[in-house]
Every structure is written in structure tokens, then in C-alpha cells.
Amino acid sequence: MTRPISSPLLANMWRENPNSILVTGVPRSKSVEGGARHIEHEDETARVDFQYPTGKVEFLHTPDNPFHRVHEIMHSRHSDVSQMQEQYDGLNNTVAQVTEDCRIHTRFWPWRYGNTPEAIKLATRKFMRQEIAEVKAKLVEDPTRRGTWPDFATRLRQAAIRMGMGSTAKQALKQADFMNDEQKQFAYRVLRLIASGREGDAAEMLQLAFFGEPKSETPSVVEDERSGKKRRGRNGASKQPPMAIVNLPLTEAIPEAKIGYRRATSGSRLHRPSLRKPVLPQKIFKRRTPREAAGTILVDASGSMGDFNEVTRWLKRAPFGTIAYYAGDGRKGWLWIYAKNGRRAAEPEQPPSSGNTVDGPALTWLMSQPGPRTFVTDRGFCDVDDSYAQIMRLAQLEKAGKVTVVDYAHDSPPDE
Amino acid sequence: MTTTTTSPASWDARFVSYVKDGLFPGALHRVNIYGYSRTGKSTLVNRLLKTERITFHSAMPLDDLIGGFALVDGRTVWMDGPAVRALKNGTVLQIDEANNIPAECETMLYALLDDPAGITLPTGERVEAKPGFGVVATMNPDPTVFPHPIYDRFDIYLKADTLSDGTKKALGRYAVNAENVIGYNQPKLKWVRPASVNAFLAANKMKQRGLSDEKICEVLGWEGRDATDFLTAVS
């Protein structure tokens, strides 16, 4: 859709190749009338321009690197703009790009396993070495970026490239050198979804894990504006199970939620310790001041966390802020608000089932609450498709300092 | 079955290997050797293939190519020219200075470069190419001097930018010196074969003979990035 830059100052940075051999690899049915055109770039520009609204290939932009040339040919053959819009609707642009890259590499690498021509194999390896060297250089500058989206996405794509060229998933993931086993497992699940044609779900998992909920969601079946026919939305888009928020009656005052005080220059009650000072301070009065209920604590009340009494122990130990716990039965879930604003329920309600199910919605709820946020969980999310994405999402939020995770299998409740 | 042949580097070694492998004349019939003068292009072809030979010049009549009527014992008798002899005998027609295509011969040359080749003589006789027929055109400038129908008919292009082995032998101990002055006062040869219909036709003929895509690239004259582009495009 974007035409090549036409500034005469930049003209020497690219040129059209009118006798391109490469462009003969774009199927006629996927090219604009008159055939796709090949623009050779001196820099690293690599992209395919699809004509709007036909989605046909208009320009193939490539640098000198053979790997990029193969990559763009694959896009021109196998990327369908309208399908991409459906699959990746509402997702972050880089998530969509990386997922699409992984899709074409795992499923459409032009050569059979092990039959990649030597020159292309060498060029691909060289490209991957350079890319990972750049990532490493960035990580030396800022080690905290290890495991973040750019780092993970680069390694995920490299694993997809290797798998496309014939490596086993195990080899490819090992060579990609993810930050930890969690990320490696997550990458495996994402690539497995992509390989089975569920790239929309894979992209959604990536989005959830690194960027939070997608902005909009394509319904699983949508009405086609032109024909009135129904067409498929994002592939197998799994809706998150519903989560009911139960506000327990907050009948008990929390004894630990004491009223605080502050020193003031006027008031009706003296602050006696101040009177004992050799030089009398200005603030010798004290005034009552309510201690604000700060922060939110969310407790994972699933079976993997142990007996519910353990959960209760945690709930009762946390005097301030909003305290909630959640559980699910595999199809739906509940989140009970046990305490808020210095008051709590007489007794926590026993969950009817001890599954996880709504880890995602519960985490979303936690993130919508005022901070600081604490999540008491063993991270054993399960029951639904996006469980692994939610584990990754929690790890990313924790890394970003937006939530503190307390593993109560190892940690003790406060004040114990 | 995939033929795996080590790729000889110089143009003359490649040409010899194609002849020895039966690739030319065989699967492919039309070769163009262009490049610096005195590199041994014409001599190599002639000695290797025992060719019917003709040298083009702009004023050459058609008779010189296909033949004509001659007065023999008071009667007019048709005498075959080199092209017709090559067609009938299944030998290689060597055209030197092929860039100087005479206007009279241009369309006849299309027919000779067709696959299968064949021409109709002024006598009305139709002559089809026997197996073993082929055309080798040698010249100094690059192939862009050809009209497109001729340019797109050659299967193999070889760039003669080094001395052939035979020439080196003839030069003896001065071969090194001669090699250093090979391109003096001559236009640089920068031409690279573009993608064309005939290139892919030739590729398919080679594929049917079991050649690998890498070998096909080499025969078509595509190296480096052009080779990887071809391998990608045909994947």
C-alpha cells in the first residue's frame, strides 16, 4: 500500500529491478494486474505492499540478504491481508507481525525439511546470528529487558524459522535460549497453536501475556457486510469463561485497621511525646486521621493452593485495602470480595469448586484495582486455553513492578 | 534422479562439461558465448564440436546462410548452405560475430533458433533439425545488442572474460601477461541474464533430465544473489 520513496535524494538507496528473477516467484493470481514489481533496497527495508482493497501484491521490497528475500516471497504467497485483519483484529501490531512471521515460517518454508539450499541456509544462519547478537548487545545495556516482549518475540521467531527449516521443536526452542523454562513452554504452546492453524489464538495468547487484553474482539461469527453471509472470525477464538464478582456482606470491622493520627499545629489533644522535647516543636497536637485502605490483595483459592483454611488464614491476616479470592469450576468462576475499606465479611464463602478457570479475568480485575497489588498464588493456572498466557502475563506484570506475587506455598502470611 | 556435477569455474571449462555431459547439444540447443576478443571462443567451439561455421556481416545475403541455386553442368542445382547442412546432418551451426545479424537473415535465424528448429527452403523443401543440431553464437558485445526474439531464444549464455585453456596453451609462458590485458580498451561486461520465458523453458528441460536446481542455476549463468533468487522463486 505504501509506494516506494520517490525523493531524488533517496533515489540511490533503492531501485526497481525490472528483470527480477525473485518476483517470478509471486503467483500471478496474487499479483496486481501487470505483475508485482520488485524494489531492491540498499538498507534493510523488507516488506510486501499489498494493494488496497484487493489484497494483491503490488511491490516486493527486499534488501540484499537472501533470507529476507525468501521471507518476503513467503509473505507474498501466503499472507492474506483480509484474513490477517480478521485473525489479528484488535491485537498489538507487533504481536500480529510476529505471529504472522511465525506462521509462514513454521508452515510454509519453501523447502522440505533438510532440503534448504546451502546458500540460503548459510544466509539464514548468518541473519539469525546477527539478530541475536543485536539482542544481546541491547541486553548488556539493559539486562532488565531479558524476557520482555522484544527479547521473547525475537527468540520465538527464531525458533519458528528453525522449525520451518527442519529442526525439531525441542531443538529449536533450546537454541532460541529463552529466559526461563516458563517462557520456553509458553513459546512451545504458541508455536504448536500456529502449526495447527490457530494463529489467531496464538496471537491472542501473546497479546495477553505481554500487552494485556486485546482492545476489541472479533466475534466468532460475524456478518459479512457485502453478502450478508456469515464468515468465521478469529480462528477458534476462545472466549474467556465468565467470572461472577460476589460482594460478600462486609459486616465485621477489621480490628487491625486502626485509626491513625497525625501531628498538627492546632487541635484538642496534645501529643505528649512532643512536650518532652527540649525545644518545643510547632506541631504539638494530634489529630485523628483515617488510615486509607491501600492496595489490593487477590488470593488464588484453587485446589492447588491447598486447604481453604489456608486461604482464610491469608485473608484474615491482611487488614487493609481490598481483599478478594477466586476459584472456578472449569466453565465459569467466581471472585469474592472479602474485605474492603477496613471491613470484612464474617466468614469467607467456601468456593463450590476448586478449579482455577478464571485466572485471566481475576488478574484483569486485580489490575483494575488501586495499587499496590498483591497476588497470592502458586502460578498453577489451568483449566482454560489461555492459562499459559496468563502465567506469562503475570510474570510480565510482576517484572514491570505492577503486581507483587506471593507464593504462599513458600511464603507466610504477614505478621505471622 | 539428481545429477550432481562439480561446477567448473571458467566459461570454457563449463562449455566443455556441458558438451561432455550431453547437455549441449541435447537437452539444450542454443548457446551464446560473448566476451572479450582473442579469448578463444570460436576456436574452442569449432575444435570441440566440428561445426558448420559462418561469420555474420551486415551485408551478408541469405544464400550464404541457407544455400542457393548454382549452375552445374548447365542446370540450376540447389546447394545447401551451412545452416541447412547442420540441420540435415545433426551437427552444430557456429555463427561467429553473431551480433552483426544481416537484416535479410534475421527471421531465418528465428527459425534456426526455434525448438525444434526447421526451415522451408526456396525449393519448397522443408528441413527439420536432426538430433544433434545446435547453434553456438559467438560475439564480443553483451547480448543486449540482439533483438528481443533472438535474445530470448538462447538457452545458455557464457561470458568469455578469461582466456580459454587452448589459448593459454598457445600463449605458452606469456599466458599470464595476456590474461592481465584481456579487457584492455574493451567495454566492461556487466550484463547479467534477466528472468525470461526461455530461461524457465531451459530450466524445465534440465529439470526433466534430473538436474538439481543448483546445477540449473549454474547452467543458466545465475550466481550469488541471482542463484538464491532463482532457488527461492522456483521453490
Q: What is the pLDDT of residues A267-308, one digit of tens each?
A: 888 888 888 888 888 888 887 765 555 688 888 888 766 666
Q: Is B194 on the interface with A (CB under 8 A)?
A: yes
Q: Are B96 and B55 in contact (CB under 8 A)?
A: yes
Cβ-Cβ contacts under 8 Å between A and B: the total is 55
> Residue B171, SS3?
helix
Q: Is the pLDDT of residue A179 over 60?
A: yes
Instruction: Please state the rounded mean pLDDT for residues A199-220.
Output: 76
Whether the upstream peptide bond of residue A8 has omega within 30° of 0, thus cis, is: no
In this prediction, the residues of chain B whose per-residue pLDDT falls under 50 are 1-7
Tell me if A117 and B234 make a contact (CB, 8 A cut-off). no
Question: Which chain B residue is nearest to residue A22, measuring alpha carbons?
Answer: B229
Q: Among A104-113, A118-127, A362-371, B23-32, whose mean pLDDT is lowest?
A: A362-371
- Looking at residue B229, its pLDDT comes to 92
> What's the predicted TM-score (pTM) here?
0.74
Closest Cα partner for A318 from A358, A372, A394, A378?
Answer: A372
Using CA atoms, how far residue B179 sits from A56, A88, A369, B140, in Å, is 51, 61, 81, 17
Which amino acid would we find at residue B202?
Answer: A
pLDDT digits (tens, 9 = 90+) for A229-270: 444 445 544 567 788 888 888 887 776 666 667 788 888 888
Q: Is B223 on the interface with A (CB under 8 A)?
A: no
pLDDT digits (tens, 9 = 90+) for B157-184: 999 999 998 999 999 999 889 888 888 8
- Looking at residue A92, its pLDDT comes to 85
Residue of B193, B214, B232, B234 for testing the chain A interface, max A β-carbons within 10 Å: B232
A chain contacts of residue B217, beta-carbon cutoff 8 Å: none
Asked if the ipTM is above 0.95, the reply is: no
A274 phi, psi to nearest 5 deg? -70, -30
B chain contacts of residue A120, beta-carbon cutoff 8 Å: 228, 231-232
A chain contacts of residue B227, beta-carbon cutoff 8 Å: 119
> Please, what is the average pLDDT of chain A?
81
- Looking at residue B1, its pLDDT comes to 38
Tell me if A119 and B227 make a contact (CB, 8 A cut-off). yes
Position with higher pLDDT, A328 vs A287: A328
Q: Is B233 on the interface with A (CB under 8 A)?
A: yes
Determine the number of helices (DSSP H) and then strands (DSSP E) in chain B. Answer: 11, 9
E strand map for chain B: 30-35, 52-55, 67-72, 75-80, 92-96, 118-120, 126-128, 134-139, 156-160
Q: Which CB contacts under 8 angstroms, 24+ apart, belong to A112-119?
A: A112/A166, A113/A165, A113/A166, A114/A166, A116/A165, A116/A166, A117/B213, A117/B214, A117/B228, A117/B231, A118/B214, A119/A66, A119/B227, A119/B228, A119/B231
User: How close B19 comes to chain A (CA, Å)?
Assistant: 26
B chain contacts of residue A66, beta-carbon cutoff 8 Å: 225, 228-229, 232
**Residues facing residue B71 across a β-bridge:** B76
Give me the residue from A19, A111, A123 closest to B195, CB to CB: A19
Q: What is the distance between the alpha carbons of residues A198 and A178, in angstroms, rounded to a whole number?
A: 23
Residue of A15, A20, A21, A108 for testing the chain B interface, max B β-carbons within 10 Å: A21
Which triple of cell numbers denotes residue B220? 543458466
User: How close A183 comes to chain B (CA, Å)?
Assistant: 33
- Looking at residue A216, its pLDDT comes to 54
Q: What is the distance between the alpha carbons of residues A81 and B146, in angstroms, rounded to a whole number?
A: 42
- Looking at residue A10, its pLDDT comes to 52
Which triple of cell numbers denotes residue B158? 557464457
- Looking at residue A223, its pLDDT comes to 45
Give me the residue from B214, B226, B235 closest to A21, CB to CB: B226
- Looking at residue A380, its pLDDT comes to 80
B chain contacts of residue A39, beta-carbon cutoff 8 Å: none
Q: What is the distance between the alpha carbons of residues A14 and A34, in angstroms, rounded to a whole number?
A: 21
